[in-house]
Amino acid sequence: MKKAICVLLLLTASSLLAQDKNPVTSAVKEILPRQQKNLVGAADEMPAAKYTYKPTEKQMPFGHLVLHVIQSNYMLCSKVSDTPEPKPATPLKETDGKDKLVPALKASFDFCSTALGKVDDSKLADEVELFGGRKGSKAFALLALSGGWSDHYSAAAIYLRLNGLLPPTAQPKK
């Protein structure tokens, strides 16, 4: 009886794994909407006048944090998907302010959604150029993208809390 249960569990587990032939890219695609909601929500929550705020002299201003997410999204989603990175007519600056940075942040996530929609696990071992000219696999770029969203959101949440504001994930359900 125990042997039959073990065999059944193994068959069920392998069946579940076989259902998704792209577990890595599927997981990142599943993570993206939540991180988009949180990061855009944090950028929306921060008042425009506080986009120059930085907790200490050595830390980046909030506007730079938002700009960094935008640039990371475009660069990493472009590399992973072999989709040309869109080039704005006028490059963004951290001093552009909330009115320009929030729409650009939303657009960078829209770009990622579209670009990653074409990606599967079959080419994750392919090498791409990353930040600073370093080489790495597309898998590394995809994991850096996903990890970056978490890292950047935690930083944004701290900036918000230091200004007496609740980050999106701490706000009461509506």
Tell me, yes or no, whether 82 lies in a domain.
Answer: yes
Would you say residue 129 has pLDDT above 80? yes
Tell me, yes or no, whether 9 lies in a domain.
Answer: no
CA distance 75 to 43: 20
* Number of structural domains the chain divides into: 1
Q: What is the pLDDT of residue 8?
A: 47
Q: What is the pLDDT of residue 2?
A: 55
Q: Please give the model's pTM, rounded to 2 decimal places.
A: 0.87
Would you say residue 10 has pLDDT above 70? no
Q: What is the pLDDT of residue 173?
A: 85
Q: What is the pLDDT of residue 5?
A: 53
> Nearest-CA neighbor of 88 among 109, 104, 72, 64?
104
Contact criterion met (CB below 8 Å) for 140 and 134: no
Tell me, yes or no, whether 46 lies in a domain.
Answer: yes
Q: What is the pLDDT of residue 7?
A: 46
Higher pLDDT, 141 or 7: 141
Tell me, yes or no, whether 1 lies in a domain.
Answer: no
Would you say residue 143 has pLDDT above 60? yes
Tell me, yes or no, whether 14 lies in a domain.
Answer: no
Mean pLDDT of 103-114: 98
What is the residue range of 88's domain?
Answer: 22-170
* % of the chain with per-residue pLDDT over 70: 90
CATH classification of the domain holding 46? 1.20.120.450
Tell me, yes or no, whether 47 lies in a domain.
Answer: yes
Give the DSSP H or E segment for 172.
Answer: none
Query: Is residue 109 classed exposed, middle or buried when 0-12, 13-18 and 19+ CB atoms within 10 A define those classes?
Result: buried
CA distance 95 to 61: 9
Contact criterion met (CB below 8 Å) for 113 and 51: no
> Nearest-CA neighbor of 43 among 24, 18, 21, 70?
70
Q: What is the pLDDT of residue 87?
A: 87
Tell me, yes or no, whether 48 lies in a domain.
Answer: yes
> Nearest-CA neighbor of 94 among 41, 21, 38, 43?
43
Contact criterion met (CB below 8 Å) for 45 and 168: yes
Tell me, yes or no, whether 98 lies in a domain.
Answer: yes
